[in-house]
């Protein structure tokens, strides 16, 4: 049922891929960006930050057109090449913790997104959707795949295992000590087998990239309406995705940091927490939750364990079982007065890979008054929430793998 197709990727030459590949633009500090662009003329950052060439901040339509120009220059200089025939691309990442992620880069269907075959679990902001849609429409390419996950499939896994026995088209290590590999799958038998295997999968889930998916769908819808000869196989009907089996997906928690206790004293705050949780003061012993519905709290130099009183809290649906939602409903909103998790400046988030010690440090440095540690959501929780048409609170999951931009590019 899912339409997952091969495509002719635009990609760096083998000798330059490690220089071209970059993290997402927003993940760099301004100093990091400038340093990389000063000393690396091949970085994909030169494309997405075209104003750097003129030492000027450029935004909106003017920026989009310059992005397009820089991209065309990379093609003219043969930094980028295009494969002659449609391919699937097996992509593997091994991180510094020696965790391995392996999946397939392919074109996913915007129609499947519309028809809920590709399911989401996060809300998107309409302004961001429209902004990125206009960006895509002007630049004409997508360089960062949406991360999708599918149920483990023996047929697809067997082809991946056979493919990675061969020499990789790309093999490079980043300064983060992640090693990236890419193999082309261009023989027709394997392509047909992969395409058929995906067509027999009823549901695929967005793991990361909800705004990119939504924007790609909006663009497909607009270009379809503008094209009187629309057939359905045009490139704009698809968006680039990295599909990995559910067993390869890693989900980490996002911990919460709050700037104040909403006018409450420490004692008043603890008494209000007692309505919903069994509380144990663990002193300076570092405590991290080991199961769902258990939370850690760091307050005034001490760790606390908070165990949800399940006889009081009602699990009405899959969302109500999510720890991020439980914390919001029992603590953040009613006690600390945080209503909007997206816009309230009193709350900050720290993903679980930073560890609970980073939460402790920020509270000890008086940046925040209290910190909460959560147990990570599971793939099954994410799927149940999506299946029920529900939406997770912001910053409920920090998901890996994280791909580099510019390694494969999809044109439409």
Domains assigned to the chain: 4-251+400-411 (no CATH), 254-396 (3.30.1760)
pLDDT at 123: 85
Give Cα separations from 285 to 52, 347, 355 (angstroms).
48, 25, 15
Question: Given the DSSP bridges, would you call strands 254-258 and 347-351 parallel, antiparallel or unpaired?
Answer: antiparallel
Question: How do strand 250-252 and strand 238-245 relate by DSSP bridges?
Answer: unpaired
Cβ atoms 235, 218 nearer than 8 A: no
The secondary structure of 91-156 as a DSSP string is EEEE-TT--EEEEEEEEEEHHHHHTTSEE--S---HHHHHHHHHHHHHH-EE-S-EEEEE---HHH
Number of other residues whose CB lies within 10 A of the CB of residue 37: 17
**Residue scoring higher pLDDT (295 or 34):** 295
243: which strand partners?
Answer: 104, 148
The pLDDT of residue 352: 82
- Mean pLDDT of the 10-23 span: 97
Task: Judge whether 25 and 48 are in contact, CB under 8 Å.
Answer: yes
pLDDT band at 125 (very low <50, low <70, confident <90, very high): confident
What average pLDDT does the chain have? 95
Q: What is the pLDDT of residues 330-379, one digit of tens each?
A: 999 999 999 999 889 999 999 887 778 999 999 999 999 999 999 999 99
Positive or negative CA dihedral for 12, 168, 90, 187?
A: positive
Q: Which two tokens stand for residue 63?
A: 């920026």
pLDDT of residue 348: 95
User: What is the pLDDT at residue 81?
Assistant: 97
| CA diameter of the chain | 69
Instruction: Convert the pLDDT of each residue in 244-286 to its tens digit.
Output: 999 999 999 999 999 999 999 999 999 999 999 999 999 999 9
Flag whether pLDDT at 411 surpasses 80.
yes
pLDDT at 26: 82
Backbone angles phi, psi at 252, to 5 degrees: -110, 160
> Which pLDDT score is estimated for 25?
84
From CA 339, how far away is CA 360, in angstroms rounded?
Answer: 24
Between CA 408 and CA 86 the distance in angstroms is 13
Residue 202 has pLDDT above 80, yes or no: yes
- In DSSP terms, 351 is beta-bridged to 254
Residue 59 contacts by C-beta under 8 Å, 6 or more apart in sequence? none
57 pLDDT more than 90: no
Report CA Rg, the chain: 23
């Amino acid at each position: 049922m899912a339409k997952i197709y091969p495509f002719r990727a635009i990609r760096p030459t083998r000798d330059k891929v490690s220089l071209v590949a970059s993290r997402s633009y927003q993940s760099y500090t301004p100093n990091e960006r400038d340093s990389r662009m000063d000393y690396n003329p091949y970085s994909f950052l030169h494309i997405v930050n075209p104003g750097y060439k003129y030492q000027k901040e450029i935004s909106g339509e003017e920026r989009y057109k310059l992005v397009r120009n820089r991209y065309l220059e990379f093609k003219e200089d043969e930094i980028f090449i295009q494969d002659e025939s449609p391919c699937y691309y097996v992509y593997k990442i091994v991180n510094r913790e020696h965790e391995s992620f392996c999946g397939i880069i392919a074109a996913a269907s915007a129609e499947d997104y519309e028809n809920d075959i590709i399911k989401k679990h996060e809300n998107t902001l309409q302004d961001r959707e429209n902004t990125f849609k206009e960006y895509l429409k002007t630049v004409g390419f997508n360089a960062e795949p949406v991360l999708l996950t599918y149920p483990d499939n023996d047929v697809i896994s067997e082809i991946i295992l056979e493919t990675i026995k061969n020499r990789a088209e790309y093999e490079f290590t980043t300064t983060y000590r992640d090693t990236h590999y890419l193999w082309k799958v261009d023989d027709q038998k394997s392509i047909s087998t992969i395409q058929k295997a995906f067509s027999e999968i009823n549901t695929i889930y967005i793991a990361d990239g909800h705004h990119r998916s939504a924007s790609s769908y909006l663009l497909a819808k607009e270009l379809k309406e503008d094209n009187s000869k629309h057939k359905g196989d045009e490139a704009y009907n698809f968006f680039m995705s990295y599909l990995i089996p559910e067993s390869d997906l890693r989900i980490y928690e996002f911990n919460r940091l709050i700037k104040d206790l909403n006018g409450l004293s420490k004692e008043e705050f603890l008494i209000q927490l007692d309505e919903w949780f069994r509380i144990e003061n663990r002193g300076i012993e570092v405590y991290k939750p080991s199961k769902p519905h258990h939370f850690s709290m760091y307050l005034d130099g001490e760790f606390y364990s908070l165990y949800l009183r399940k006889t009081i809290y009602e699990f009405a649906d899959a969302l109500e079982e999510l720890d991020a939602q439980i914390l919001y409903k029992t603590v953040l909103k009613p006690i600390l007065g945080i209503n909007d998790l997206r816009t309230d400046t009193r709350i900050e988030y720290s993903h679980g890979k930073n560890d609970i010690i980073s939460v402790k440090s920020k509270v000890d440095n008086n940046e925040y008054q209290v910190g909460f540690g959560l147990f990570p959501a599971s793939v099954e929780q994410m799927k149940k929430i999506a299946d029920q048409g529900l939406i997770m609170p912001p910053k409920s999951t920090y998901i890996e793998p994280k791909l580099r931009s510019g390694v494969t590019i999809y044109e439409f």
